[in-house]
């Protein structure tokens, strides 16, 4: 018996799906709440002891907040319009999370304690409020979480999608993606003895199987075949046509179309590409490289987030601030 699954593009690319949460995006049917809106005044950042921005800085460094991630790292949400999403970042203050922009203006105060939802975008701790980029409330979240693992069997070379207690082979899935995606490389073997209700079965048969420990990640083409037959320690979602991949403890980028190395595997940490640049950590400092792997800024920052519009949040000994990338060229 063949079981047909319908996978949307976002789900096929993510392949480890989470609706509301702090990690990845999800594709779930949702009830849109609204269109009631509130018009709260836009909060501003707390006054700083430092004076006007120094040369090379759009926002002077400050020590009272920690920038934890750029919203440029996320796919566009499904039910809200964050027109300035790439300009926004999460910050933590007093143990709670808010949203700030590249001008240093707090869009959502930390007391709201927000996180990311792939369906609705920015939502607060109990998911009772969903926000647009100006901090206005446009509805409620509450989509819950879910997951769908995708496996690559190293024994048979078959891709399977997990559906509750079934493994559905790629040939039995109706796929609506034309993009490569990531699968977990595992060994799938028949289970000894009779299967039980708690076991996993293949393609609606009575064949119970055992899924081995994850050996790494592998990039899979829409055809269900591996892109380059390389099992990486870890692969992150593609950005601007490049997958971030980890080998021998170090990160680089590979071309999503060819599998060829685009950025060498020499970095201890990397962030997604945006507007042709990615933040990378050499092990002794952060900076920015282009899609050809050329270092475009100094590599001396203590931390760095994804850039947008020629600006980026970076951390120095003086705290987190926004630099003008052109003033910090390599």
* 235-240 average pLDDT score: 96
Highest mean pLDDT among 77-91, 166-180, 292-306: 292-306
Question: Which contacts qualify for 68-72: CB closer than 8 Å, 24 or more apart?
Answer: 68/92, 68/97, 69/305, 70/271, 70/274, 70/305, 70/306, 70/308, 70/313, 71/99, 71/116, 71/122, 72/272, 72/274, 72/306, 72/307, 72/308
Residue 23 has pLDDT above 70, yes or no: no
pLDDT score of 140: 87
% of the chain residues with pLDDT over 70: 82
Contact between residue 171 and residue 152 where contact means Cβ atoms under 8 Å apart: no
Please indicate whether residue 196 or residue 85 has the higher confidence score (pLDDT).
85
Is 14 strand, coil or helix? helix
pLDDT in tens, 257-314: 999 999 999 999 999 999 999 999 999 999 999 999 999 999 999 999 999 999 999 9
| CA separation for the pair 308, 276 (Å, rounded) | 10
Among 31-40, 118-127, 174-183, 308-317, name the one with the lowest average pLDDT.
31-40
Residue 315 has pLDDT above 80, yes or no: yes
What is the pLDDT of the chain when averaged over all its residues? 84
Residue 47 has pLDDT above 60, yes or no: no
pLDDT score of 116: 94
The confidence band for 29, taking pLDDT boundaries of 50, 70 and 90, is: very low
pLDDT score of 168: 94
| CA separation for the pair 330, 311 (Å, rounded) | 15
* 71-98 average pLDDT score: 92
Residue 174 has pLDDT above 70, yes or no: yes
Exposure string over 2-37, b if 16+ CB within 10 A, otherwise e: eeeeebeebbbbbbbbbbbbeebbbbeebeebeeee
The confidence band for 147, taking pLDDT boundaries of 50, 70 and 90, is: low
% of the chain residues with pLDDT over 90: 67
Please indicate whether residue 41 or residue 95 has the higher confidence score (pLDDT).
95
pLDDT score of 4: 37
- Six token digits for residue 43: 């909060």
Contact between residue 295 and residue 284 where contact means Cβ atoms under 8 Å apart: no
Residue 7 has pLDDT above 50, yes or no: no
- Six token digits for residue 18: 């989470």
Residue 143 has pLDDT above 90, yes or no: no
pLDDT score of 145: 56
| CA separation for the pair 93, 318 (Å, rounded) | 16
Around 25, how many Cα atoms within 13 Å sit in the side-chain half-sphere? Answer: 23
The predicted model scores a pTM of 0.82
Highest mean pLDDT among 17-26, 31-40, 165-174, 236-245: 236-245
Residue 326: burial class (beta carbons within 10 Å; 0-12, 13-18, 19+): exposed
Query: What are the chain's domains?
Result: 17-29+54-139 (no CATH), 233-330 (2.40.128.630)
pLDDT score of 144: 61
* 28-42 average pLDDT score: 31
Peptide bond into 317 cis (omega under 30): no
* 88-116 average pLDDT score: 96
Contact between residue 207 and residue 199 where contact means Cβ atoms under 8 Å apart: no
Residue 154 has pLDDT above 70, yes or no: yes
* 93-118 average pLDDT score: 96
Residue 20 has pLDDT above 80, yes or no: no
């Amino acid at each position: 018996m063949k079981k047909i699954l319908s996978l949307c593009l976002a789900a096929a690319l993510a392949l480890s799906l989470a609706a509301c949460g702090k990690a990845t995006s999800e594709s779930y049917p949702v009830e849109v709440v609204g269109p009631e809106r509130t018009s709260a005044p836009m909060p501003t950042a707390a006054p700083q002891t430092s004076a006007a921005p120094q040369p090379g800085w759009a926002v002077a460094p400050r020590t009272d907040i920690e920038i934890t991630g750029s919203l440029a790292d996320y796919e566009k949400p499904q039910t809200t319009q964050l027109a300035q999403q790439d300009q926004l970042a999460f910050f933590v203050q007093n143990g709670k999370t808010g949203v700030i922009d590249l001008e240093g203006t707090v869009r959502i105060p930390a007391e709201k304690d927000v996180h990311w939802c792939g369906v609705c975008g920015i939502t607060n701790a109990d998911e009772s409020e969903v926000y647009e980029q100006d901090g206005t409330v446009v509805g409620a979240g509450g989509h819950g979480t879910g997951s769908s693992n995708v496996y690559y069997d190293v024994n048979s070379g078959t891709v399977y999608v997990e559906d509750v207690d079934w493994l559905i082979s790629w040939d039995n899935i109706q796929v609506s993606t034309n993009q490569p995606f990531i699968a977990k490389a595992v060994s799938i073997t028949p289970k000894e003895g009779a299967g039980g209700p708690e076991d996993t079965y293949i393609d609606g048969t009575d064949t119970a199987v055992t899924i081995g420990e994850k050996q790494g990640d592998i990039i899979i083409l829409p055809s269900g075949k591996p892109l380059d037959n390389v099992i990486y320690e870890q692969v992150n979602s593609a950005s601007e046509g490049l997958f971030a991949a980890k080998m021998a403890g170090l990160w680089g980028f590979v071309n999503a179309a060819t599998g060829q190395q685009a950025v060498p595997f020499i970095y201890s940490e990397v962030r997604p590409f945006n507007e042709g640049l990615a933040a990378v950590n050499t092990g002794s400092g952060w900076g920015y490289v282009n899609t050809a792997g050329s270092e475009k800024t100094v590599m001396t920052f203590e931390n760095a987030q994804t850039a947008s519009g020629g600006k980026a949040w970076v951390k120095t000994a003086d705290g987190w601030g926004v630099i003008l990338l052109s003033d910090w060229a390599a």
